[in-house]
């Protein structure tokens, strides 16, 4: 495991500096630091400021921590939907968010297309909230930013929420066009799993307060008002994953030093050479056919009856691909293209795939 490169789309390859930061954290007493200290508040502030810097988030957005992006789904429905959310579903994760709304006794609606496809047009939805999945981790479909950014104008009364779990820090969102954005740290940021990050604006706070004033329960410690009132003091409602918040701040600092533009350019380059290799291969092809929707950060290969053999071939050379998701396990392989995957690694991956001839 350690010896090879992990291309699973999360938990994935660790960012280069994670182990060093954890070693330093032990030297500085972070793993046993009380979250009710000034020292913790400084860590919280450093991490959230770093995230704002690297993703270009305006100052008036709040950044709060959950335990996972899965938790964010639940909190969004509890806090931001009285009755009706509208979900754009094209794979397992966007579907699970829709199902979360059902489990919480809302009446969600959906626009659904087959796995591997994107959406053609925006119809006008009568809804409180639009749920978009920027990058569907299960199938490798990435929605164009213009598609996401178009909703605000056509749906001025709906909150626009974006799942960017497996795409950030790559995309450059326009924060005048979205109200809420979230990710988890074990994907593009290359940390061990166990922390979700939720970015939201005051329209979300108002909506939660409005539901609360109607007597609707919006949850307890992780309601938006509870999360945000603590965040304004650089605190958390409960004892959080302090170590992960610390390491995230350090990794973001490293990414800022390296340059987010460079990271984005390298992501484009790595995606381009892998898609080219898949196109040119006689036995493999990209699962997502339409170029517009081909994910830059989770690249899915249709490997058919060669799946097991290609996996072994790669693993023997220190490259661990991710399995296809769910029932596609037998016929697809997934390759994460995160900042922790170097150009050299991708060149090696491309060469190795080309060398596989059945």
User: x-or-dash pattern for a second copy, window 69-98, by CB under 8 A?
Assistant: -xx-xx--x---------------------
* CB of 72 or CB of 141, closer to a second copy: 72
Q: Least distance in Å: CB of 71 to a second copy?
A: 7
Report in angstroms the alpha-carbon separations of 99 from 105, 110, 125, 304. Answer: 10, 10, 19, 30
117 makes contact with a second copy (CB under 8 A): no
Q: What angle do CA 172, 155, 206 make, to 5 degrees?
A: 85
Chain residues 2-41 in contact with a second copy, contact rule CB under 8 A: 2, 6, 8, 10-14, 18-19, 22, 26-36
Alpha helices in the chain (DSSP H): 18-27, 38-55, 69-80, 92-103, 145-149, 151-154, 202-213, 224-231, 242-258, 260-280, 307-315, 343-355
Minimum CB separation of residue 328 from a second copy in Å reads 13
136/143 Cα distance (integer angstroms): 9
Question: Does residue 225 belong to the site contacting a second copy (CB under 8 A)?
Answer: no
**Least distance CB 337 / a second copy (angstroms):** 15
Provide, rounded to whole angstroms, the least separation between the CB of residue 103 and a second copy.
4
Closest distance between a second copy and the C-beta of residue 99, in Å? 8
Number of residues near a second copy (by CB under 8 A): 60
Is residue 244 a contact residue for a second copy (CB under 8 A)?
yes
One of 126, 154, 220, 279 touching a second copy (CB under 8 A):
220
Q: How far apart are CB 4 and a second copy at their closest, in Å?
A: 8
Which residue, 188, 193, 197, 180, is CA-closest to 295? 188
| Segment near a second copy (CB under 8 A); pick from 144-152, 174-182, 216-224, 307-315 | 216-224
Q: Which is nearer to a second copy, 118 or 322 (CB)?
A: 322
| Ramachandran area for residue 183 (φ above 0: left; ψ -120 to 50: alpha; else beta) | beta
One of 47, 90, 100, 307 touching a second copy (CB under 8 A):
100
CA 92 to chain centre: 14
Cα 279 to chain centroid distance, Å, stands at: 26
- The CA distance from 193 to 185, in Å, is 6
Report the nearest approach of a second copy to the CB of residue 27 (Å).
6
End-to-end CA distance of the chain: 25
User: Could you tell me which residues are beta bridge partners of residue 131?
Assistant: 87, 161
- Compute the Cα dihedral for 190, 332, 265, 199 and give only its sign: negative
Positions touching a second copy (CB under 8 A) are 1-2, 6, 8, 10-14, 18-19, 22, 26-36, 66-68, 70-71, 73-74, 77, 99-100, 103-105, 184, 186, 191-195, 215, 217, 219-223, 237-244, 322-323
């Amino acid at each position: 495991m350690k010896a090879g490169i992990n291309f699973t789309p999360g938990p994935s390859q660790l960012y280069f500096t994670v182990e060093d930061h954890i070693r330093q954290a032990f030297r500085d007493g972070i793993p046993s630091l009380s979250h009710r200290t000034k020292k913790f508040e400084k860590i919280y502030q450093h991490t959230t400021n770093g995230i704002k810097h690297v993703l270009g988030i305006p100052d008036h957005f709040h950044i709060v921590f959950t335990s996972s992006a899965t938790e964010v789904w639940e909190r969004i429905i509890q806090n931001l939907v009285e009755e009706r959310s509208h979900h754009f579903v094209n794979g397992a994760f966007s579907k699970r968010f829709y199902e979360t709304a059902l489990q919480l006794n809302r009446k969600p609606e959906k626009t659904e297309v087959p796995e591997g496809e994107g959406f053609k047009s925006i119809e006008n939805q009568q809804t409180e909230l639009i749920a978009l999945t920027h990058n569907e981790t299960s199938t490798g479909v990435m929605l164009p930013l213009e598609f996401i950014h178009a909703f605000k104008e056509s749906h001025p009364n709906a909150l626009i929420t974006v799942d960017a779990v497996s795409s950030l820090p790559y995309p450059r969102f326009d924060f005048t066009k979205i109200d809420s954005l979230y990710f988890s740290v074990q994907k593009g940021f290359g940390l061990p799993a166990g922390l979700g990050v939720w970015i939201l604006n005051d329209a979300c706070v108002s909506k939660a307060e409005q539901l609360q004033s109607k007597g609707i329960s919006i949850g307890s410690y992780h309601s938006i008002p509870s999360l945000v009132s603590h965040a304004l003091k650089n605190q958390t409602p409960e004892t959080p994953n302090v170590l992960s918040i610390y390491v995230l701040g350090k990794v973001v600092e490293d990414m800022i030093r390296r340059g987010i533009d460079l990271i984005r350019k390298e992501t484009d380059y790595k995606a381009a050479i892998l898609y080219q290799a898949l196109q040119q291969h006689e036995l493999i092809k990209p699962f997502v056919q339409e170029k517009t929707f081909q994910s830059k950060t989770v690249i899915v290969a249709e490997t058919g009856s060669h799946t097991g053999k290609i996996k072994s071939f790669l693993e023997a050379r220190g490259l661990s691909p991710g399995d296809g998701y769910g029932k596609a396990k037998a016929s697809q392989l997934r390759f994460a293209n995160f900042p922790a995957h170097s150009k050299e690694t991708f060149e090696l991956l491309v060469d190795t795939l080309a060398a596989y001839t059945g």
